[in-house]
Structure 1
């Protein structure tokens, strides 16, 4: 069944948040229990662990209601997604950092919102949380007792609800003009940034992907969306519908903003610090420009560098490496191991070796103002653009 995406249907998604999480957060603030909740939730980091004594009743009800993935999950598909991630982890990390995050920044109201809390002022924390969340998701035991993914998803969902609570309560968000903060349209848009935009970026980098692997990776983020409170009647169910949604969403909202440029500058500075030395620093800006395109890069004030041309050779380099991987079991093992170590190094650099905790912010910045290993069948190619069709 083909879903019809129209301006009217998208407008309807801007008026809705997340009823369960919103009610939980509202009750915690009303009873003055947010600080107590955050303190106790630092001890809730693995699935199946006993809840700490003294946790507010409303929080206990929420945690029990959200403690399991949706009943419709296809575990075979999730295993395909895990293997796809294992084969492409360094490429996926690159796409998340240099395409998915800048895509968020190129939507002005999202960039304004990302500038809203003290914690998001620091890009290392934001990127570490995103990377850690994805690594938790792609572990073999992601949904089993002892895993860290489910508690992380529960906390992120409450974080989103708390941002909605602050902005609406303090009158710093024009709901009539912008819709509900972190509304369903934006949550689905975010899901597309971390799934379809990643796949688009891998394709642009020249990474060889099977259709099954790409579809499974997208499916895994559908499961994530369900656990983060995304309306399953409205979310795209396949990559073709994802393209229709993302094209319409970006045409409706993308553009330049001071916040988007600031967040991008912070992101570039962050990764220039991670990359040893200074000679390769310009490659960070060049990768962003290559993956998001010149128009979006100009909106985000990504500097042009001499590396802009060099980066275009990346697909050829990856093609050579993947040829080695395909022809040599030892080469495949070595490259997979290198990819794993690279991802671990990047994440450890961002987290400083610590586990990132997701907490409900009790206040916002004062200056905030908003008036695979799967057997390949055929190589995956992105769905064609749909706007104007």
Structure 2
């Protein structure tokens, strides 16, 4: 990885961790101690409603915390107000430039790979269904898109930014879901582990990082090793800010591949909740695409990027014409990349087009609202769980990890 702190001699580098079924089983029992304790005390004192109300006025880093904030919430917000001390800011800037250069492609991958991948993990799909008592079906995607945009702003970690407060609220949101499911006896902890456990948090981090890189490669987008490293690094920083133990997180793309392959082998599969969530996702983006002629493009893109096995598990519709036509996407994107490489004007125009496309997509999802990441005071009542692009130095995903079974 190109971040600071890499040892100068290969022989001095630590060996990759031995991710096994046993080590990942241990991660299934671990949540987020700080956020869990904060949420438990807020609920015990009956202060969650008050906290949510006050948090609507707390949206930018460096802003004075509102009067009347419960002491435990104030302590949590003060303890989590800074990014990790080990952050390499040069690497974060490289990640931001990578995002700007590929924003529309990254948005496509987040929508049509990262989210469906979560739906293809049955216990994660069950959990997402539990928290989907939402005002409108685009909320989950709107929150994800807005969070990513906040992360990639030049001032993401400075006073006045929206990213750090968003990360603080998302971390508490996850803790509140754990609190509800365990307190109400609606989660089979013995069979499924702690809800939103460390294993699943790392799995989610990889869905939004390495799976996005894989999707960009499948679309024919040229990615440098430096760009791929930086993009993963940014999500590693995010993972730490969302409560993942940095000692447990894969430290680079090689370790992420090892962890991700084993995680998916352990958990991928079909479920009725996954089918339902995927249908909602497809319906949502068919609403965003004008007219109906191009509606089949959405499931065709999911099927192309996810593969037929997972797409069939999620009941993604087939289209003989569009499933074939979508395979020309890498060629078309390759032509655009060639124009971008050869013409500064074309590069500027395509960057602007990508920016405005992403802005339009996000505004359609948010409907002009700022997503507040409120902490749910109850879950859905009818839910029951127990039921620059150099052509050289181009990043390519490695082959699948051998011997995924690991040792127990």
The whole-number CA distance in structure 2 between the counterparts of 1:121 and 1:255 is 29
SS at structure 1 position matched to 2:158: coil
Tell whether the 8 Å contact from 2:84 to 2:240 is kept in structure 1 after alignment: yes
The whole-number CA distance in structure 2 between the counterparts of 1:76 and 1:159 is 30
The whole-number CA distance in structure 2 between the counterparts of 1:105 and 1:311 is 22
Tell whether the 8 Å contact from 2:133 to 2:379 is kept in structure 1 after alignment: no
Residue 290 of structure 1 corresponds to which residue in structure 2?
A: 304
The whole-number CA distance in structure 1 between the counterparts of 2:131 and 2:335 is 44
Residues 193-342 of structure 1 correspond to what in structure 2 (within 5 A)?
Answer: 193-305=207-319, 306-342=321-357
Residue 161 of structure 2 corresponds to which residue in structure 1?
A: 147
Displacement after TM superposition at 1:117 (Å): 1.9
Residues 1-389 of structure 1 correspond to what in structure 2 (within 5 A)?
Answer: 1=14, 2-119=16-133, 122-305=136-319, 306-371=321-386, 373=388, 378-388=393-403
The whole-number CA distance in structure 1 between the counterparts of 2:145 and 2:278 is 17
The whole-number CA distance in structure 1 between the counterparts of 2:143 and 2:42 is 23
Displacement after TM superposition at 1:388 (Å): 2.8
The whole-number CA distance in structure 2 between the counterparts of 1:292 and 1:118 is 23
TM-score by length of 1: 0.98
CA RMSD of aligned residues (A): 1.1
TM-score by length of 2: 0.94
Displacement after TM superposition at 1:367 (Å): 1.4
SS at structure 2 position matched to 1:226: helix
Tell whether the 8 Å contact from 1:248 to 1:387 is kept in structure 2 after alignment: no
Deviations 1:198-247 (CA, angstroms, capped at 9, x unpaired): 00000000001111001100000000000000011111011111111111
Deviations 1:283-336 (CA, angstroms, capped at 9, x unpaired): 000000001100000000000012001000000000000000000000000000
The whole-number CA distance in structure 2 between the counterparts of 1:196 and 1:109 is 21
The whole-number CA distance in structure 1 between the counterparts of 2:137 and 2:84 is 31
Deviations 1:4-63 (CA, angstroms, capped at 9, x unpaired): 110100000000000000000000000000000000000000000000000000000000
For these two proteins, the number of residue pairs brought into alignment is: 388
The gaps in structure 2 that reach 5 residues or longer are 1-13
The whole-number CA distance in structure 2 between the counterparts of 1:80 and 1:214 is 10
Tell whether the 8 Å contact from 1:77 to 1:219 is kept in structure 2 after alignment: yes
Displacement after TM superposition at 1:370 (Å): 1.3
SS at structure 2 position matched to 1:123: coil
Tell whether the 8 Å contact from 2:222 to 2:390 is kept in structure 1 after alignment: no
The gaps in structure 1 that reach 5 residues or longer are none
Deviations 1:265-291 (CA, angstroms, capped at 9, x unpaired): 000000000000101000000000001
The whole-number CA distance in structure 1 between the counterparts of 2:265 and 2:87 is 32
Displacement after TM superposition at 1:387 (Å): 3.8
Displacement after TM superposition at 1:121 (Å): 7.9
Q: 1:245 to 1:343 in 2, by over 3 A?
A: same
Tell whether the 8 Å contact from 1:274 to 1:346 is kept in structure 2 after alignment: yes
Tell whether the 8 Å contact from 2:133 to 2:380 is kept in structure 1 after alignment: no
Deviations 1:157-192 (CA, angstroms, capped at 9, x unpaired): 000000000000000001110000000000000000
Displacement after TM superposition at 1:379 (Å): 0.6
The whole-number CA distance in structure 2 between the counterparts of 1:383 and 1:170 is 43
